[in-house]
Amino acid sequence: MDKKNKIVIISLLSILLIALCMFASEMSSTKKKAFTSVSEIEEDQSTEVKNEDNSKYIDMALAKEIEAYFQENNIDHESVSYCITDLKHNIKYSMNENEEFIAGSIYKLPLAMLYYDKVNSGDYTMESTLPYSGYMHEDAGVISSNYTIGSQIPLSELLDAAIVYSDNDAGHILFENLGGWKEYKEAMTKYTSSISDNYYSEDNVSIANTMNDVITYLYAHKDEYQELIDNMKKAEPGEYLDRDIQQGMPQKYGMYDYALNSVGFVECETPYSIVVLTSLGDKGADVMAKINSIAYEHFK
């Protein structure tokens, strides 16, 4: 073999060796990324089962499928929080469940529950009236269209307006009648023990764990809240959590600025409740709909 051929062969072998090294490096990087993804799933998401006998019903694929959706669509984990509870086996799947988000009008759900409790206990009737003062007016809506400042408004209309139309004046009248915002939040602790740092703040923030406690309480006592549940079904039917599954589920949505949230439950083979809080602007509608669609496919 002449010198020229030797040089060619050595050059080809060198190129092949370099290519093999680059391939090995890329495979190592891919494995590292895969490991990181698994770590993110374990770090960001959690599963809690209150009865160890039900641990066999834990669906590990649920959290992984939601995580895959997040990664495929480059969704920022810090901008989403959720709690999904298997109501049949009392298993909770969650992510960022203790992180505070702007609540928007989801606060009106436990507020309405407090009044249905008062009606059921005989403290009020649906014909009882509450005063509409000037400082309770927030913006245009059903209540401000139908009543003037100084009016006495039937409780039934306030509850319908707060849930079906998410009327802000109705909500304001209802919590002021309890003594104010802080007094309302104190009364609401009958449904939850999940109290975040700014729970009593006038900023109206919430965590998914708090609303998970509320919605699971509602489901456990749903016979006492049937009218409320019916109103939840009337509020923007087929939208938000229900947009992709179209089950006519009861839910209470809330939005403010870039925050879009909803809380509700689905009756299916394995009934479940769901809370999704987002700070993604309009994209939040797609995210909450998809998360619930994934959950529904697992539980239906």
Instruction: Provide the domain limits for residue 41.
Output: 1-46
Say whether both 116 and 207 belong to one domain: yes
Per-residue confidence of the chain (300 residues) as pLDDT tens digits? 555 555 545 555 556 555 555 555 554 444 333 333 333 444 567 787 776 777 888 888 999 999 999 999 999 999 999 999 999 999 999 999 999 999 999 999 999 999 999 999 999 999 999 999 999 999 989 999 999 999 999 999 999 999 999 999 999 999 999 999 999 999 999 999 999 999 999 999 999 999 999 999 999 999 999 999 999 999 999 999 999 999 999 999 999 999 999 999 999 999 999 999 999 999 999 999 999 999 999 999
pLDDT digits (tens, 9 = 90+) for 78-124: 999 999 999 999 999 999 999 999 999 999 999 999 999 999 999 99
Say whether both 194 and 102 belong to one domain: yes
- pLDDT of res. 31: 38
3-state SS, one letter per residue, for the chain: CCHHHHHHHHHHHHHHHHHHHHHHHHHHHHHHHHHHHHHHHHHHEEEEECCHHHHHHCCHHHHHHHHHHHHHCCCCHHHEEEEEEECCCCEEEEECCCCCEECHHHHHHHHHHHHHHHHHHCCCCCCCEEECCHHHCCCCCHHHHHCCCCCEEEHHHHHHHHHHCCCHHHHHHHHHCCCCHHHHHHHHCCCCCCCCCCCCCCCCEECHHHHHHHHHHHHHCHHHHHHHHHHHHHCCCCCHHHCCCCCCCCEEEEEECCEEEEEEEECCCCCEEEEEEECCCCHHHHHHHHHHHHHHHHHC
Say whether both 38 and 134 belong to one domain: no
Domain count, the chain: 2
Say whether both 35 and 110 belong to one domain: no
- pLDDT of res. 60: 86
Say whether both 28 and 113 belong to one domain: no
Say whether both 18 and 36 belong to one domain: yes
Say whether both 30 and 75 belong to one domain: no
Q: What percent of the chain is modeled with pLDDT above 70?
A: 85
